[in-house]
Amino acid sequence: MTAMQLRAELFREMNPLLDNETAMMKVLAFLKGLVVAQNNQEAKVPRDGWATAAIQAHAEGEDKLMMDEIFAEETMEDWQW
């Protein structure tokens, strides 16, 4: 089905509810919930664009450590297990 066909079907199905205020309020609440759920799904891409940004940072030499390694002077012999 195309978007236009789906839209027409939606309006056909809603037609009997148009005179019932309570039913229309329920339909609106349900639709608002769907929009919120869709927006939440779209927002669940926390690392979107990170790979491209990392490649760009590396190409520009901006991916160096900001400070020296804290444990650079330690050796494995210093560690106790």
Give a yes or no: residue 72 inside a domain: no
How many folded domains does the chain comprise? 1
Which residues constitute the domain of residue 29?
Answer: 1-40
Q: Residue 4: its pLDDT value, please?
A: 93
Give a yes or no: residue 57 inside a domain: no
Q: What is the chain's pLDDT, residue by residue, as a tens digit (81 residues)?
A: 899 999 999 889 888 888 899 988 998 999 899 998 888 777 666 777 888 999 999 999 888 877 666 666 666 676 666
Check if the beta carbon of residue 14 is closer than 8 Å to that of residue 27.
yes
Give a yes or no: residue 74 inside a domain: no
Give a yes or no: residue 6 inside a domain: yes
Q: What pTM, to 2 d.p., does this model score?
A: 0.44
Token pair recorded at residue 32? 């608002």
Give a yes or no: residue 49 inside a domain: no
